Structure 1
Amino acid sequence: MLWQIALAILVCYVLWKVLKTEENELNRVPGPPKWPIIGSALSFLGLSQSEMFDKLLELRLKYGNRFVIKVLNRYILHVYNVEDIETVLTHSRNIKKNKPYMFIEPWLGTGLLISTGAKWNKRRKILTPTFHFDILQCFMEVFEEQSRNLVKELKKQVSEGSDVVDVSPLISDFTLYTICETAMGVRLDSDKTEAKLKYKDAVLEIGKLVMERLVTIWLHNDFIFSLHPLGKKFAKCLENVHSFADSVIKERSMSYESRGEDFNEKANSRRRALLDLLLEARIRNEIDLEGIREEVNTFMFEGHDTTATALTFGLMLLADHPDVQESIFDECKAILGDSDRSPSGSELNEMKYLDAVIKEMLRLYPSVPFIGREIVEDFMLGDTKVAKGNEVIVHIFYMQQREDLYPEPKAFKPERFLNGEKRHPFSYVPFSAGPRNCIGQRFAKMEMKSVISEIIRNFKLEPTQKGARPTLIADLVLRTTEPIYVKFVKR
């Protein structure tokens, strides 16, 4: 009898928590119909990743640049206005990531991407020196070597008659090799095992599984998810990515210990990889082995997958615009002459047109199309109170393609970033902004400049179908439903 009373009380409490909506000001913000208990969940049930991507644009067109989706007792405010985006991204305390990020916590732990509060601040301080300008200059040798290796592989494929290339796998290899050697201090391209392939496949699969879980409400519960086939597949993917990252940590740790270097000496400080900084911090008891694993997993993912995505879309755009390619080629020739050597860091900085090209690539196809926050401190968004516990989604992809911000928004026009056009500073945020901006954005830009300049100096790019654009999907990073093919013609 007592357990029945207790169960009834529990059910009543749960229903009360779920149905208690009258105090939330976000009820006044437009959005899809909110049904009792389930909220707006039916609007998204069974959608594919590409349909989900299109749905978010459809809702923006229907309800404007600020709308709310309610799922059970979660209120999720979606914003597209630059003023709203500025308010959200610059808030000093509301830096906690929202619920979907928790679905990848078993993979990344609470590393720099997911952590918040004091832990995030501490980790950011430990890791920031890795991306200091002087240290980035020391990575130029790796950028140069890996860019040349990529071009060598492309030349080989072209000479064998395979001039039409699915660019994503090759670019993904390039960025994975680069992040391993620069940030982790480990050479990977000599690895002949299946570990690399399993790692890359697992990263792609994890994104799909997370998005499928997100739109399947009953799988939000960790226990139910663990019993479901999707959860079992997720666990298998975790084995592969963790095994790969652990091997990287083990290799660098052995090298670190065998060298016995004093990384506090100024002579060595310029040669430290991110993993060296973490190993040094462990000696000072600022981080433990699990913390190192969290950050290695985080940077292995963020440092290779986001840049690979940007480069893949970038090559697609360049293939469609021979005039832009020739302008890049002319700029390289003006700086480097007829030499076939790779540019130095200072020479990359002189490539202002290439810099504008990369900015325009990231405007059209930001690697991270939206950013989520869980609110930990009440704040005002205009005249609307956004209370603690609510969530906010910042839509970078659609905001950067608004016609009122960028005339001819879908056109690829690098000159937008050369002619001094005045625009709101938060109308362009492919690397986020505010306290939680991307720590590795200068690294990514230098890497992209290095490899694009090397490719354009050796090839002319052509599309397989002029003006064709792939179907985009909602994922951890921007992805497509089909491969992106580019034709490479030797200069």
Structure 2
Amino acid sequence: MLLTLALLAIITLVLWRLLADDENNLDALPGPPRHPIIGCALEFLKISPRGLFLKMRQYKEDYGDRYVIKMMKRRILHLSNEKDIEVVLSHSRNIKKSKPYTFLEAWLGTGLLLSSGAKWHRRRKILTPTFHFNILRSFAVVMKERSQHLVEKLKGVEGSEVNLLPVISDYTLFTICETAMGTQLDADKSSKTVEYKTAILEIGNLLLGRLTRVWLHNEYLFRKFPIGRRFEDCLKKVHSFADNVIMERKKNWKPGQSEVTEDDVLIGEKKRYAMLDLLLEAEAKGEIDLEGIREEVNTFMFEGHDTTAMAIVLGLMLIADHEEVQNRIYEECQKVLGDSDRTPSMSELADMKYLEAVIKEILRLYPSVPFIAREITEDFMLDDLPVKKGSEVSIHIYDLHRQPHLFPEPDAFKPDRFYSGAPMHPYAFVPFSAGPRNCIGQRFAMLEMKFVISAICRNFRLSPKEKGYRPALLADMLIRPEGPIYVKFNRR
């Protein structure tokens, strides 16, 4: 009898902790209908990946720039107004990533992307020099070569309709592998290398599947389903490959090797640097251990592969649809480089202001990361609204970038918005986030996009398979087209 009562008491306590709710100021905000105890949970169980993205667009239309979704006890405040977003992103202490990011921990550990507090500050300090101007110039050598390899590949399929994603995904994956780890995936056809490339791509698909199935958010259940076992298998391959590369490079590495000078850059074809070299330098100084090196190499692989690939694919779709834009890019390249067929230098790319405006407009319409989320660790005020510790905030970059009061004709592709130099609210355009937790690799990403888009537009005229085609979009941690995007490349 006593045992039964004790069990009932424990069950009651567990249920109370799971279900008991407290009053919260966020409940006064609009949002989808909330049922007792479960909130909006049932509605989200029925939503597909494509449906989720469309549903979020509809919520923005129905409830405005501030609304709340309640899932059991969780309250998620959704924001798409530049003033609210500035308050959240500029906050110096509310920088902790929210629950869905933990799905990446088995792969990335708690490196720069997923850590918070003192660890995040230490890692940020270690990694900031990775994107110093001289290091970027060293990486630019790889980007130049990769963009030329891509051009040659496209010449081989001239006149035919090319499915962009596989081609561009290879380009960004090979580029990031060489700059992050000093490894040439396409030059090495070993089974381990092929496994690594396949596993990287599969992990992205599995994460999408998990994110859109609420019952798989529980770690124990996820591991018991086939999708979880496939994820585990991919992790073993990715970690094994990265560990082997790290140990091989460590074996041949010497202290001071990662100090990049002007002369090193000038002979860049002979002497290559990878982010891994800089991390090994930090290890020699006692600033990071081998586990930390693996975390940051894998983080760089994740953040620098898919994100840039999606931006380039959707960008080429837009450019192909606007002949006048690609012609202006070509003319600007001719103005800066003349009739030379050499690849531009970093300083010459910096002179291509229209090219930069085009890339910014691509990222406005299709920010690679359409939403970012924070777990609130310290009470703060959002204008007149108190936001309590424990709440979550979802920032809708996609919707922010399509606010008509910030960008008239928000769905139109108009690079001149950024070419004109007109003043803009500092948080109106945040494709790389903003504030203390902004993307550390944004200069790297912009440079890579400049190299590849300028190379393609100098060599080809682009035309779409279907004029005006815009794909349905999927919602996971990145923005993705639901189906393939085809573009035809004809030599100039």
TM class by shorter chain equals: over 0.9
**2:218 maps to what in 1?**
221
The residue type paired with residue 262 of structure 1 is: G
Distance in 2 (CA, whole Å) between partners of 1:449 and 1:215 is 33
1:30 offset after TM fit, Å? 1.3
Work out whether residues 53 and 472 of structure 1, in 8 Å CA contact, stay in contact via their aligned partners in 2.
yes
1:476 pairs with 2:477: yes
1:215 offset after TM fit, Å? 4.1
Shift in alpha-carbon separation, 1:208–1:35, aligned structure 2, 3 A: farther
1:426 pairs with 2:420: no
Work out whether residues 95 and 116 of structure 1, in 8 Å CA contact, stay in contact via their aligned partners in 2.
yes
Shift in alpha-carbon separation, 1:244–1:305, aligned structure 2, 3 A: farther
Shift in alpha-carbon separation, 1:247–1:479, aligned structure 2, 3 A: farther
1:195 offset after TM fit, Å? 4.4
SS at match of 1:112: coil
Distance in 2 (CA, whole Å) between partners of 1:463 and 1:318 is 9
Deviation string 1:414-439 (CA, Å, 9 cap, x unpaired) is: 00001132321111000000000010
Deviation string 1:1-22 (CA, Å, 9 cap, x unpaired) is: 4443333223222332333333
Work out whether residues 172 and 309 of structure 2, in 8 Å CA contact, stay in contact via their aligned partners in 1.
yes
The residue type paired with residue 209 of structure 1 is: L
1:450 pairs with 2:447: no
Matches within 5 A, 1:68-467: 68-158=68-158, 163-256=160-253, 260-263=254-257, 267=261, 272-467=273-468
Deviating more after overlay: 275-284 vs 48-57: 275-284
Distance in 2 (CA, whole Å) between partners of 1:425 and 1:298 is 27
SS at match of 1:139: helix
SS at match of 2:127: helix
Deviating more after overlay: 229-238 vs 117-126: 229-238
The residue type paired with residue 95 of structure 2 is: I
1:84 offset after TM fit, Å? 1.0
1:225 offset after TM fit, Å? 1.7
Gaps of 5+ in 1: none
Shift in alpha-carbon separation, 1:62–1:307, aligned structure 2, 3 A: same
Distance in 2 (CA, whole Å) between partners of 1:431 and 1:85 is 13
Work out whether residues 82 and 427 of structure 1, in 8 Å CA contact, stay in contact via their aligned partners in 2.
yes
1:106 offset after TM fit, Å? 0.7
The residue type paired with residue 88 of structure 1 is: V
Distance in 1 (CA, whole Å) between partners of 2:281 and 2:264 is 11
1:272 offset after TM fit, Å? 4.6
The residue type paired with residue 153 of structure 1 is: K
Distance in 1 (CA, whole Å) between partners of 2:5 and 2:202 is 45
Distance in 2 (CA, whole Å) between partners of 1:212 and 1:42 is 18
SS at match of 2:490: strand
Query: So what's the TM-score if we normalise by structure 2?
Result: 0.94
**1:43 maps to what in 2?**
43
Work out whether residues 142 and 178 of structure 2, in 8 Å CA contact, stay in contact via their aligned partners in 1.
yes
The residue type paired with residue 348 of structure 2 is: E
Work out whether residues 255 and 281 of structure 2, in 8 Å CA contact, stay in contact via their aligned partners in 1.
no
* Percent identical residues: 59
Deviating more after overlay: 452-461 vs 233-242: 233-242
Shift in alpha-carbon separation, 1:459–1:200, aligned structure 2, 3 A: same
Work out whether residues 372 and 396 of structure 2, in 8 Å CA contact, stay in contact via their aligned partners in 1.
yes
SS at match of 2:181: coil
Distance in 2 (CA, whole Å) between partners of 1:464 and 1:247 is 43
Give the total of aligned pairs: 485
Shift in alpha-carbon separation, 1:26–1:165, aligned structure 2, 3 A: same
SS at match of 1:420: coil
Deviating more after overlay: 272-281 vs 331-340: 272-281
Distance in 2 (CA, whole Å) between partners of 1:202 and 1:265 is 33
Work out whether residues 21 and 27 of structure 1, in 8 Å CA contact, stay in contact via their aligned partners in 2.
no
Distance in 2 (CA, whole Å) between partners of 1:82 and 1:16 is 38
Shift in alpha-carbon separation, 1:48–1:444, aligned structure 2, 3 A: same
Structure 1 segments, 4+ long, off by >6 Å, are 268-271
Distance in 1 (CA, whole Å) between partners of 2:132 and 2:2 is 63
Gaps of 5+ in 2: 266-271
SS at match of 2:27: helix
1:38 offset after TM fit, Å? 1.7
Deviation string 1:38-73 (CA, Å, 9 cap, x unpaired) is: 211111113111100001111111111111111122
Shift in alpha-carbon separation, 1:265–1:147, aligned structure 2, 3 A: closer
Distance in 2 (CA, whole Å) between partners of 1:173 and 1:390 is 39
1:200 offset after TM fit, Å? 4.4
Distance in 2 (CA, whole Å) between partners of 1:182 and 1:215 is 32
Work out whether residues 208 and 475 of structure 1, in 8 Å CA contact, stay in contact via their aligned partners in 2.
no
Distance in 2 (CA, whole Å) between partners of 1:448 and 1:439 is 16
SS at match of 2:286: coil
Shift in alpha-carbon separation, 1:307–1:26, aligned structure 2, 3 A: same
Distance in 2 (CA, whole Å) between partners of 1:46 and 1:199 is 34
Shift in alpha-carbon separation, 1:142–1:215, aligned structure 2, 3 A: closer
1:261 offset after TM fit, Å? 4.6
Work out whether residues 326 and 457 of structure 2, in 8 Å CA contact, stay in contact via their aligned partners in 1.
yes
Deviating more after overlay: 432-441 vs 418-427: 418-427
The residue type paired with residue 310 of structure 1 is: A
**1:5 maps to what in 2?**
5
1:381 offset after TM fit, Å? 1.2
Distance in 2 (CA, whole Å) between partners of 1:216 and 1:315 is 32
Deviating more after overlay: 22-31 vs 119-128: 22-31
Distance in 2 (CA, whole Å) between partners of 1:34 and 1:14 is 22
Work out whether residues 134 and 260 of structure 2, in 8 Å CA contact, stay in contact via their aligned partners in 1.
no
